[in-house]
Structure 1
């Protein structure tokens, strides 16, 4: 029959294991949720990936994505956003699948830390040798000096993806990522 000291050690180990497993499960679950701390990548944000259906993305994110707007044909192009408190993220859906992610929230960053408010020089320094700069063709006011800074990945596996930073007076005002050609649509679903 085991003595009391052995029982205490075994009980302590059991409780410690339960606590560690519980904390690990909470940590994994928190990482799997879409939050304002989720990072934008060229092919997704947090647990949501380009190519997912809206239902798959909702399950992966732990938050329902709700319909917001569409172009002339909702199946060809529409927008969804997270239901609830999470603002500043919109998902362009084409032919039933997520094609692009639009960011207008200052709290959300790319994996490399780029965000709204950053200077053009900062974006260029975060992605050295991989930024193509073009003028925004929709700029009505020349003094706004609006540009697109497009991150073009070097990895052949990512050749069909981009991150595009829109600037005005040298500062990022909006950015998006996704697959070609949708990520380059200037007016979204229009």
Structure 2
């Protein structure tokens, strides 16, 4: 094999590896039940993105309420189920997880966990307040220590024992108990 042929073979291999790497990265970015919720987003979707940016980052179609008002919700057309995004001012402001015990936070918190488990995952960073509608229920609010995250929270709603749903996002939207209502 002469040097020109070796070079062309090398370039072909590198282009193939590059396209496989890009495809793999794109495939991994798709929003699924294995995507992790973090203080300001889930998977590749971050608070502050427009709906079209979020759909592109998630690799899925987002559908939902009419964007005629300042606050509405969109959700994945298919999977993951029971996941929604609050949109305010035309941008994602919060992520809500309901009736989906597959999606977890970065630390592994999920629906069905006990209040004690949540407190142990986030020692010294959980503020407990009474639930507005569930007798004996609580809001367990994760308050970040990092100054860069001071405007974000994760809120776990409980029935007094177990997490029934949770959400992550920015202030003040993260504290809206009734969502956009």
- Structure 2 unaligned regions, length at least 5: none
CA contact (8 A) 1:68 1:81 kept: no
Q: CA deviation at 1:36?
A: 1.1
CA contact (8 A) 1:67 1:79 kept: yes
- Structure 1 unaligned regions, length at least 5: none
Alignment match of 1:43 (pick from 40, 43, 47): 40
How many Å separate the matches in 2 of 1:152 and 1:94? 22
Give the secondary structure class of the aligned counterpart of 2:111.
Answer: coil
How many Å separate the matches in 1 of 2:109 and 2:9? 45
Aligned to 2:75: 81
CA contact (8 A) 2:32 2:79 kept: no
Q: CA deviation at 1:16?
A: 5.8
Task: Report matched runs for 1:8-157 at 5 Å.
Answer: 17=14, 20-68=17-65, 74-104=68-98, 105-139=100-134, 142=135, 145-157=136-148
Counterparts in 2 of 1:69 and 1:186: CA distance versus 1, 3 Å: farther
CA contact (8 A) 1:75 1:96 kept: no
Counterparts in 2 of 1:11 and 1:76: CA distance versus 1, 3 Å: closer
CA contact (8 A) 1:40 1:111 kept: yes
Alignment match of 2:154 (pick from 156, 160, 163): 163
Question: More deviation in 58-67 or 178-187?
Answer: 58-67
CA contact (8 A) 2:41 2:95 kept: yes
| TM-score, L = length of structure 1 | 0.85
Aligned to 1:186: 177
Aligned-residue Cα RMSD (Å) equals 2.3
Counterparts in 2 of 1:137 and 1:69: CA distance versus 1, 3 Å: farther
| Matched residues, number | 180
